[in-house]
Chain A
Amino acid sequence: QEPLTSSMLAAAPPQEQKQLLGERLYPLIHSMHSALAGKITGMLLEIDNSELLHMLESPESLHAKVEEAVAVLQAHQA
Chain B
Amino acid sequence: GSSISWPPEFHPGVPWKGLQNI
Contact = CB atoms under 8 A, between A and B. Distances in A.
B19 A76 contact: no
Interface residues of A, number: 18
Interface in B1-22: 4, 6-13, 15-16, 18-20
Nearest to A29: B10
A45 B11 CA distance: 12
Contacts of B15: 15, 19
Nearest to B20: A15
A43 B7 contact: yes
Interface of B: 4, 6-13, 15-16, 18-20
Interface of A: 15, 18-19, 22-23, 25-27, 38-39, 41-43, 45-46, 73, 76-77
